[in-house]
Amino acid sequence: MTIRMAATHAIHKAREAVDFAYNTAGATAIFDGHPLERRFRDIHTVTQQLQGRFSHFETVGAWMLGVDADLSFV
């Protein structure tokens, strides 16, 4: 459970860091040749897939509180 919580948290913190860099880079970051363009797409893709689902926080929280939780993705 702690690994699931830590991994999901790390994914979302990485997204925040990439978003900050992307926004700081300005308009040039939207073009295919810019290194941040690909990283922006990659990190946002990960947050939408299984490993980055926000529902993991709910699952871990329920487990920590002793409530029945769907543990199929843990």
Which tens digit of pLDDT belongs to each residue from 2-59?
Answer: 898 999 999 999 999 999 999 999 988 989 889 899 999 999 999 888 888 888 898 8
Rounded Cα distance, 59 and 68, in Å: 9
Identify the sign of the CA torsion 26, 28, 30, 34. negative
Is there a contact between 59 and 74 (Cβ–Cβ < 8 Å)?
yes
pTM: 0.79
Terminal alpha carbon distance of the chain? 7
